[in-house]
């Protein structure tokens, strides 16, 4: 029989309520909430005065293993997850090498099996020429992935895929769920070209502006709807996107990130380049809309987009 642990007298966070209760674990699984008083346990943890929460799932992290481990690796990243109550993470493909082949995915899974202390999953990354690998990833025994990541807008890692023909192929000819970084590359470049003179940190939100985010999200949603492909919008940052997403609950999900929920363009003066990220910070009105989206169900999950840099 698995080792039985009783966590006794905690304030347990349950769906829709808090309750003072005990929780029985068998091995690594919850066997019962508020079991009978005479229940046998091999170990008892007295938790009076403490809160007991479910482990969090972070569906977007950028650990730097392999290739950039001077910033972070799977061991240090997963230990940080455990310390913060995150028991599962999904990691993005812009490592070195990129996770753009089944072999690279298998290699990352093997690393994780040795180094990770929490549950893990790794996205396959789309490139302009790896359609066959994205198809193989759905059917290769022993190699599992939660889905495909597309950088429709450029960001760290040089994995931009914004050619319409390539995007049509990926949405039409693959079966795994698709996630995307949605910023329109042509809009970003045009915005940058219009700015003269030395740039300030405030210009980051002018370059990667509302139009860039909304245009790319609309483009990706159109692809998903036409091809009936499950799609997840990463790091939503604008009120317009929240409104758009509210009409697509059947096929499309979305996330918000803490930095877009708690910061806006007014924070550049205080934080400088520490507040520079992709997608950029937007206005206080956008920030309020993200919170409404979470409450109303247009946005279903909060993810960190954790990404260490040195």
Residues with active-site annotation: 305
Tell me if the bond preceding 279 is cis, omega within 30° of 0: yes
Question: Phi and psi for 195 in degrees, rounded to 5?
Answer: -90, 125
The strand pairing partners of 148, in sequence order, are 124, 178
Total Cβ atoms within 10 A of residue 241? 30
Nearest Cα residue to 262 out of 239, 237, 240, 245: 237
CB within 8 Å of 282: residues ≥ 6 apart: 205, 210, 213, 237, 238, 260, 264, 265
CB within 8 Å of 257: residues ≥ 6 apart: 60, 235, 302, 303, 304, 305
The strand pairing partners of 238, in sequence order, are none
């Amino acid at each position: 029989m698995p080792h039985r642990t009783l966590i006794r007298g905690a304030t347990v966070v349950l769906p829709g309520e808090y309750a003072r209760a005990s929780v029985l674990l068998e091995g690594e699984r919850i066997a019962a909430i508020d079991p009978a008083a005479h229940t046998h346990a091999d170990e008892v943890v007295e938790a009076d005065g403490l809160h007991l929460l479910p482990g969090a799932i972070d569906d977007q992290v950028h650990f730097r293993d392999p290739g950039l481990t001077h910033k972070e690796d799977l061991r240090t990243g997963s230990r940080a997850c455990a310390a913060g109550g995150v028991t599962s993470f999904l990691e993005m493909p812009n490592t070195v090498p990129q996770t753009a082949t089944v072999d690279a995915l298998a290699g990352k899974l093997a690393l994780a099996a040795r180094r990770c202390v929490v549950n893990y999953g790794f996205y396959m990354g789309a490139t302009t020429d790896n359609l066959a690998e994205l198809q193989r990833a759905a059917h290769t025994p022993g190699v599992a992935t939660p889905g495909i990541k597309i950088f429709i807008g450029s960001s760290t890692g040089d994995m931009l895929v914004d050619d319409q023909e390539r995007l049509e192929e990926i949405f039409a000819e693959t079966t795994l769920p698709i996630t995307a970084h949605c910023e329109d590359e042509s809009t970003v470049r045009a915005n940058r070209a219009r700015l003269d003179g030395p740039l300030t940190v405030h210009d980051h939100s002018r370059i990667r502006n509302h139009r860039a985010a909304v245009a790319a999200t609309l483009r990706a949603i159109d692809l998903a709807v036409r091809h009936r492909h499950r799609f997840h919008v990463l790091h939503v940052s604008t009120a317009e996107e929240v409104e758009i997403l509210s009409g697509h609950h059947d096929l499309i999900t979305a996330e918000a990130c803490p930095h877009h929920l708690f910061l806006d363009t007014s924070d550049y003066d205080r934080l400088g380049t520490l507040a520079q990220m992709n997608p950029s910070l937007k206005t206080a009105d956008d920030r309020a809309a993200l919170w409404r989206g979470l409450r109303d169900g247009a946005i279903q999950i909060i993810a960190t987009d954790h990404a260490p840099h040195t």
